[in-house]
A = this chain, B = another copy of it.
Amino acid sequence: MSFMNKPAHLAKRMEDIRTFHVMNILAQAKNMERAGRSIIHMEAGEPDFSTPQPIVEAGKAALMDGKTQYTAATGLPELREAIAQYYQHRYGVEVAPRRIIVTPGASGALILTTAAVIDPGSSLLLADPAYPCNRHFARLFEGSAINVPVCAETNYQLNPELLSQHWRDDSVGALVATPANPTGTLIPQQHLAEMARFCAGRNGVMIVDELYHGLVYGDQPSTTLTMGDNVFVINSFSKYFGMTGWRLGWVVAPSAYVDAIDRLAQNLFLAASTPAQYAALAAFEPATIEILEQRREVFQQRRDFLVPALRELGFEIPVVPQGAFYVYANCEHFTDDSFSFAEKLLEEAGVAITPGIDFGEHQAEKHVRFAYTTSMENLKEGIKRMGKWLA
C-alpha cells in the first residue's frame, strides 16, 4: 500500500493527455446495471456483432497449428499480400505489399505514422470534432494539434480552403478521417486529392483514416491511396471486419517511409498479434464478406431509423451521416451543457450516450454522439425513454 500520492516524476505531456469522458459514463452505467437497472447502450464505438465465424475458425485453426510465435515486425507476408489484393478487388488499386505494415490495431498504425512525421514543436492539422486520440498522438511526440473548428457547412470535415487557412510554417501535415468519428461524414474525393496536393507542396503528409470505409451507406468511396506520394492510409480489422478485441490494423505507407515505419514497428511493437493475423487471413474470403455486407445493411437500417427519430425528438442533425455507426447530434434545444445532459440522461432515463467534449472543444457542449451499435429493438426503446424524459 502506498502513502505517496504524488508521482516521483511525471512527464509534462501528461497534463494534456486526457481520459475519455465516456469512461465515466461507462463506469456509471455498469454500476447501475449491477444494481439491476436496465441500460440502453448508445455510447459504444464497437459493433454489437461478434467476429464472423470464418475468422474465428481461422483463429482456432492457427492456435491448433501452433501459430503462436512472432511474425516479422511488418506482419505476416500472406496477410500483407491479402490486404494488397483487397485494394485490387475493392478499389481496383494496385499497391505493393511491402508498403502495407500490419499493426496492433489502427492505434498502432497511428502511433507509427505520427512518430515518423511529428517533430517537437511541429503541428498536425485535425478537424474539431474528431477521434480524440489523434490530438494526443501529436502531443505524445511533442508536436501539437491544430484543431480546426468544422461545422455542418463543410460536413464537419476539413476541406482545401480550411487547410490552407490554418496551415502554419511548422505544420507537417493533416490527419483526416472518412467516414469520420463522431460525425459519420465523408470527404469528397476531389477535396482529398486537393488537400493531398496542398500538403505535398509544403513537404507535408496527408494521413487518411479509412477505418470505417467498409461501413458506408450509399455510393462507395474510393481509397485515398492513389492521391500522392505523401499519403498514409490507415485501416483496421476492427470495425467493418468485426475484430475489435483482436487488435489488428494496418497502414499503407508511401514507399519512401516504409523503412522508417519498419524500424519503428520493430522497436515499439516487435509485431502484431500472431493468432489475430492468421485469423484475419479469413477476413477477405467471400463467405466473410457476405456476412459483413449483411451487417452493413443492418447498420444502414438502424441509421435510417435513428436519424429521423432523433430529429423528431428535437435533436438537430443537419448532415445525414453517410457511414460509420454514429450520429452526431446538436442538443442545444435541450441544454448548453451536453456533458451534464448525458449524465442525467443515463441516471434518469437509463440511456448511455457520449458527450461532445470527447471529440474536441468546438461547440462540444452543444453536441452528443449516438452510436447505433445496438439492436433495432434497443434503439427503439432508447428513443422511447428519451421521448418520455425530454417531454
A185 within 8 Å of B by Cβ?
Answer: no
Nearest B residue to A67 via CB reads: B245
Residues of B within 8 A of A51 (CB): 66, 68
Is A391 an interface residue when CB atoms closer than 8 A count as contact?
Answer: no
Interface segment among A15-23, A82-90, A300-308: the answer is A15-23
Residues in B neighbouring A242, C-beta threshold 8 A: 68
A257 to B2, CA, bound (A): 11
Q: Which of B20, B63, B244 contacts A56 (CB 8 A)?
A: B63
Instruction: Give A269's nearest chain B residue, CB to CB.
Output: B107
Nearest chain B CB to A208 CB, angstrom units: 14
Chain A interface size, as a band, is: 35 or more
State the CA gap A243–B50 with chains docked (Å).
Answer: 24
Q: Using an 8 Å CB-CB cutoff, how does the interface string of A1-23 with B read, 1 for contact, 0 for none?
A: 11111111111111001111001
Within 8 Å by CB of A257, from B7, B60, B71, B200, lies B7
Residues of chain B with a CB closer than 8 A to A9's CB: 117, 172-173, 203-205
A314 CB–B CB distance under 8 Å: no
Contact B68 A267 (CB under 8 A): no
Q: A11-B115, A68-B245, A120-B120 are in contact. List 8 more A-B contacts (CB 8 A).
A: A11-B117, A11-B118, A51-B66, A68-B242, A68-B246, A69-B245, A107-B269, A245-B274
